[in-house]
Every structure is written in structure tokens, then in C-alpha cells.
Structure 1
């Protein structure tokens, strides 16, 4: 039986988040510069997006460029931005054919104007699609997001729009980049590193973490299936005991229902 056939389609993670790591090391192994690895990493993105869409995954978030990545050598940053613009321009028709809606989280104002334009146009052109929601984390870091959210909360408290005593997790989530997007249930990191690297720190509170030594340019659907099968073999307790979980009817367990424990 293939890996795909082993997956329980009734127990898929609603939201998968991926830290796409290892492009530079992959390129070095090929005797090439880092941009060569990023270029080949785009094929992995296409393959995994297609795989998630075929499975019926609701949301896929890809960590494409962090706020810290701006400190990389200028040639690599410029090359990445050019690759981003070119890829978005080429992929819009494919996204529409596959009913995929594009979203972006992060500090868009930090991106070159041409990249902002391509992203805004792509999000508008795919805005009515109802299949997979593809969320690109660009110029994003969780600490930046939380500081940005706290500033907005503080401004609304100062303006009398928010009562400090009414600040709850539910209210805070409305100020995050991911408002309206369910928290990831499965987070995958490639390349053998065991870090979250400032990625969705608030949203990953109850996610299952999966680390693989596979470098991102080599990551394909079969690797995705392995991660999902690993997820489906875990017991998700959300702070409860195994005995308590056994008492909850199948399909009832969720962060929202028992996340307080």
C-alpha cells in the first residue's frame, strides 16, 4: 500500500505550516551558489502545493522570507526578490486553474514596490477561489508580528476603543497577521534543523512538530505524506490526559474545545 493510500482522509490537518530550509546547503552540495538552491526550491513549492490541494488540505503556510533574512548578502536578497516576483507572475494562472487562493503575512512595506504590486495583484486575481488557501510568509517574523499587534492594541486602548480588561486571546488574535486563519495543526521543518526560528510562535502553541533531514529542494509529495502519517499516529491531548481524550467522542477534540486545560 502506498503512503498516500495509508492516509486517513477524515483526519487530515486543516492547516500545515512549513519552514522551507536547506536551499543553500543543497546548492553547496551541487557546487553552486545559494541562489541556485532557491531556484530549485521553487519546484518543491509547486509540488507540495499541488499535493496539499489534491489531499484537500484547507491551509498551507510557507515560510519564504523572514525579517532576519534582510541581513543576508545583498546579491542573495536581490536575487530572492527577483525570483519571488517572477514566480508569482508565472503562477497566477496555475493557482486559478487549481482553485487556490493566495494570501500573504508579514511586513509587505519592506518588500520592493514591484513585489508588492505582483503580490497584491495575485491576491486579488485569486481572491474568489475556494480551494486550498496558500499563505506566503514574506518579510515575516513572529516577534515582529507580536510587537506590531501589541502596538495596535495599545493604540486602540488609548483611543478608548478597547477596554484593557477585555483583552483576551480571542481579541489578540484579531490583531495578528493570521486573523481569520486557523492555527496550524502540523508544522514541518526540512533540512534537519530542530528550531522554530521565529515562525508563528503564538499560532504553533498546539501544533505537532515534524522535523526531517531532507533538504527543501528534495522535498516532495512522498515526504509530505510521511509527515501527515506521523501526525495521524500521534495522540493530541491539548493539556488533557490520555484517559480524558478517550472519553471525548471522535471529531470533538480541538484546541478551541479543550485548549484551556
Structure 2
């Protein structure tokens, strides 16, 4: 069976993802920045709305993955708080200035997670040597690695993903993410042999605003309307599952 992790940033998206057949959620805020740590209120509402495991991302800001001492302290506190309110695991990662996994920082963060499983998010794709970083991730105690194979999308990185899957064996899970759709998922899985895939699987939703004053330019996500937003699409996940022959 292929495990599907949906990356969501709202309660509505979380519910849609579960209804569509997703097996796990990565919960974020600010998806336009690649995802940051969700608020406590958002996390609590999501875990009461769904039954599937919820992994909050631990990322105090957008931008790079090189963190200061104070940022690390924030991350540790977020982990400790979210553990107490039902986190099933975490998604995180820290790098050095030279593009390697930051051994000390990741150790601190993983220790804070206790016995809960930890995913190394796409900070992995920012490292200089993916093969070496995979070995480091395993040694650090990460349970899985989210990656596009170092490319702009997982389909483009399918060959590298296949190499990483072979290298990982049963020691650590490779989860493919970025640019995966119902149309390309089956071919990606066939080429790469990944057993887990990740994505927002979202479509544009019209907001409820009736009075629309065109006073401001779109402030984010210019590919959608100023008064619209993106939300996980239940039918998209269901179609993807059908196309790859997986199960809910």
C-alpha cells in the first residue's frame, strides 16, 4: 500500500484530506512560505476534527534552515507544547551554513520529540550531498525523509528518488513530495519505488467576501485570485488513490 501524507494549513483542508483517503497529515501555517509551525489553536482544532495522525511542522519562519540559538529554543518549546496536545510525530530539519545537516541542532530537536517519529522535511533537498545527508538523517534518528530528489518536483527527481530508495532500504523511509498530482503519481511510484507520497493536493476555493474593493494587489500566491485561497481537494486525493491502486 502507498501511504499518502497531505500537507494542510486549515481545518477544512484536514477534513477534506481525510475524507479523500489521506493516511497522515503534515500541518503547517504559511504554505506560501513553504510551511511554518501551526498555531496551537489550529492544531487543537485539527486533531479534534480528524482521526488520522497529525504531524505538525516545526519551522519558526520561512527562508533558510540555519537557525539561531533563540530560534532553536522556540522550536523546542513548540515541540513540547504540541506533544502535550496530541501530535503523532513531527516534521523538521536544520542545516549548517555549508549545506549539511546540523548535527547538534537536529539532535536537540529530535530529543525534544521523545519517542514520537520525526520526518526530515525538504531541508534535505537543500543539502550539498543527498546521499551523505540520507546516512546522516538515519544516524540522527529521523524516521523518514521528505524529498523531491533534489529537483524542483518529484517527477523530475524520479531517478534520484529511486537511488535514494535503494540506498535507504528498510533502514529509513523515503517519502516523495512536490509536484505530485493524480495524473503523474502512478508513474512516479513505478519509476522511483517510493512507498509514501506527500503533497497539498489542493484546488482554488472562492472566499466568502461579498464586498471586494480592488485597493490592494494580491499579496501572496499570485497564481490565484485576490479573494480566493487554496484548500485540500477531497476528490483530488480520491482520484490519486484510485490512479495508483492504493487504499484509504
**The structure with more radius of gyration:** 1
Q: Which has the higher contact order (CA 8 A, sep 6+)?
A: 1
